[in-house]
Structure 1
Amino acid sequence: MAGKIKVLGLNFGRVNGECKKYLNIALEEAKAAGAETEIIDTVTKKINRCIGCGACSRMLESGKQQIRCIQKDDYEAISDAVLDADCIIVAAPVYVLGPVGQLKDFVDRFGPAHDKAYMLFENAKREDTEGDVPLEKRCLKRHLVSYISIGGAATDHWVSFGLNQLNLFGMSINMKVVDQMNAHGMWRSQELTDQTVADAKHMGRRIVEAYSKKNSEITWESDPGVCPVCHCNEMTLNGTDTVCCPVCGIYGTLKMDGHKVKVTFSEEEQNRSRLRLAGVLEHQVELGRKPRYGDKFEEYLERFKAQEDVL
């Protein structure tokens, strides 16, 4: 592999807080494994909320322009750093059950503008149209991501949306999630702190090791959770034994084994998770974008499906 792997740490917590502490530990391990590392403290940056103007989509569909946000703040510099990186580790504190709002402000602007399926279709159209300009390669390359959720609460139910919403960060651009860590009750015991340090070290080493593998070769070594794809624990009930993972948007069957609950997801459902390329491709279909690509739509769709393991 030419050059060093770039691992970016995004700290949505305080400059010298717990998020930064464990992010530093993870990136030190990534550096020891041979990666080039950088940390951005987003709290020192200005990230406005998305105003829904649609300018980024118009640029994407223009055939000529690259994707940019028209707002003048620090968002574009952070977006550039994310796209330039090979791997990203995101750390965010839990405030009211879920991550700090600045994370969501970034996701609202970055995700829709860099929807992997949308970009793949538009880039293919550009390549087939004389005079059009291909999208930047960094927009279409594979990115790996790991998540660190930090909460002070002693119990899970006070940080229940931490990892769920962190998974929104890489969803649209189809980042492959390598690990995630739910570190709540951070100040209760030395034992908990020692375990979190070990988990952070493992996360930093793992994401560098994973980059040389295909997506299907990357095993899951963090808490398995209930969903076999996002590994989160929350499920949406609808009054039957069919439940839905709110992160992945996939359906499974709930069964009771004594007092234990188990949810089973078919391979077909797992493959259409929003965290997988097939899931974001499915979204392009349901948005009704087929007429824009005409007879090429099905050709593009099959081409992209075949690249699930490397995009």
Structure 2
Amino acid sequence: MLAATVARFSPDSPLDGLEVGERPEPEPRENWTTVRVRAASLNHHDLWSLRGVGLRAEQLPMILGTDAAGVAADGAPVLVHGVIGADGHGVGPDERRTLLSEKYPGTLAELVAVPIHNLVPLPDDLPFEEAACLPTAWLTAYRMLFGAAGLAPGDRVLVQGAGGGVATAAIVLGAAAGLEVTVTSRSAERRERALALGAAHAVETGARVPDRVDAVIESVGQATWAHSVRSVRPGGTVVVCGATSGDAPPAELSRVFFNEIRVQGVTMGSRDDLAALVRFVARTGVRPVIDSAVPLARVRDGVARLAAGEQTGKIVVLP
């Protein structure tokens, strides 16, 4: 089968470690099944893997990808939950949590093997290309907004860094749920795009927000951390899911404890969270924002676009 793999680590130029070629099909495994991938999508996790973060040299070549939608062995359309080991299904209770492409081969392939429990049925009106955007970025945004931050209609939220998959998902989901969404970006074009997607306010990175917010969706890290801590109300929450600009500078601890700010980390979500997200999307009619789509054979083009930060929304890969 055709697959995109980490063939070697390249910390400074991640595309140098990417190869597309033939790999063995998944072998049968008890309590697992094989999904024929109809669509996958890219995440920053793929770039980190190419740089050598979270993998060991003896695991190479490793198939990339954490997101996929496709057809199960019985012909049913399904969405793949890419977290393995969080609930013990298919691996036993003692295995630590990993994501597809960390211990087990990922989704940037014609076939992917996962525990049967990790399959979520797809509604008939949700295309594979849109569904494939949900399991990482959209699931993370969903859990950040409604789980970690506990936001409700009318609450205010700041989304740092318009354009990325999590940020775009947070804008669309937050607006659909009745939140007052403020977005930051250095790009005037991306600020306009955020407003078109439902944001109430869009300001330059680091600029004062119209009102202090109940929660901040923080995925940028070093470049925005101080602004996040200064923009949240006393008693509010900064929810962190990544650090695409690097780890944070000084943690502003005096501001954190004096204003009783809660800092909460999030990595994706559970299989039940993903099923709830699918119901939310089906019920509200909101859909993932797709930046572009590339065939698996030309996945390098998509990874290059992601690495350059040129995308708005998700980059989809079609086997």
Higher helix proportion (structure 1 or 2): 1
Same fold (TM over 0.5): no
Q: TM-score if structure 1 supplies the norm length?
A: 0.26
Q: TM-score if structure 2 supplies the norm length?
A: 0.25
Higher strand proportion (structure 1 or 2): 2
